[in-house]
Amino acid sequence: MTLQHATPIETPELEIQNPTSEARNSQSATQNLSLDVRELHFSYPDGHVALRGVSLQIDRGEKVALVGPNGAGKSTLMLQLNGILTGKGRMSIGGLPVVKENLPQIRARVGLVFQNPDDQLFSPTVFEDVAFGPLHIGYSEAEVRERVMRALDLVGMSAYAERLSHHLSVGEKKRIAVATVLAMDPEILVLDEPSAGLDPRARRSLINLLRELPHTMLVSTHDLLMVRELFTRMVVMDNGQVVADGPTATLLNDDALLEAHGLERV
Ligand code: ADP
C-alpha cells in the first residue's frame, strides 16, 4: 500500500448507511465483535471497482491474516476501516458505526500501520512521532508522556525515545510505527505487510512482537510462513471479494484454493 491510496481523504459524503433497526437488535449478539464489515462495496474515482461486497467479522482478541494477490483489494479494505476511503456498506469498530460524525473516535480505535514506516514517521524524534496522536486529541502533557513511554515499552523500544526517527533501521522504524498507534490504545491493530522488506532478524523480532501484543489484529501479508506460525485464522481476498475465510491450517493445505488465488504452498 502506498499513501497515494490515502489521497481521497476529502471524499464529500460518507455513503455508509446507518445501522437498520434489525442491525441494532442484533447488536447484543455481536457485542464481542471488534470489527464488523457488511457488504462493503467501493470504486475508485476513476471507476475501478476495488471491493465487491466484502463482509468480515473479527472478535475481540482474534488475530487474523489477510492474504491474496496484488490488486485483490486488501489495502483498499484497510483504508476503509478508519474512513480514509469510504464505500457503500456497513462497518463498525467495537460497536461504533464508521460514519462521518464518528471518525475522530474511529481513527483512535483503528491503529492503522502502513507498509512503509516512512509514511508514518515524520517528526524529528521517536518521542515526538509517538506523541503525535495523543497530543492531537488533547491529552495533558503528563498523559502524553505516559502513553508514549508505555507504547515504546510494548514494542521494546523504550531506550529509543530521544533517537532521530529517520536514523533508525527499517526494522526499528516498523516497531516505532506500531508504537505510534499503540499510544492511542486502539481497539484493533490493522497492519499492512508488516514483515515486507525486513531482514531475517528484524522479521523474527517483528513476529515475536506481534505474537506478544494482546491486541485484536488484522494483518495483510504475502508472508505465508508468518501466517502459518502466527495466525490461526486466515482470510483470502481476490478480485475485491473474500474468497475464503477459515482456519489457517486448513486453507494453507488446500492446493486448489492456493493455486486459484496465486498463493504458494508453504
Ligand atoms: P492489494 O492491497 O490487495 O494489493 P489494492 O487495494 O491496493 O490491492 O488494490 C485493489 C484494486 O484497486 C487494484 O486493482 C488496484 O489497481 C486498484 N487501485 C488501487 N488504488 C487505486 C487508485 N488510487 N485509483 C484507482 N484504482 C486503484
Average pLDDT of every residue of the chain: 90
What residue owns the CA closest to ligand 1's atom 27? Answer: 44
Residue-wise DSSP of 110-155: EEEE-SSGGGT--SSBHHHHHHHHHHHTT--HHHHHHHHHHHHHHT
Probe residue for ligand 1, chosen from 1, 3, 5, 42 as the CB with the greatest number of ligand atoms within 8 Å: 5
| pLDDT band at 45; cut points 50, 70, 90 | very high
| pLDDT band at 137; cut points 50, 70, 90 | confident
- pTM (predicted TM-score): 0.89
Distance (Å) of CA 109 to CA 94, 161, 202, 210, 216: 8, 24, 27, 18, 11
Alpha-carbon torsion 160, 161, 167, 170, what sign? positive
- Looking only at Cα atoms, what is the longest distance across the chain? 55
Share of the chain above pLDDT 70, in %: 89
CA of 35 to the centre of ligand 1 (A): 22
Q: Domains along the chain?
A: 60-82+100-260 (3.40.50.300)
Which 3 state secondary structure label does DSSP give 39?
A: strand
C-alpha cell recorded at residue 198? 525486513
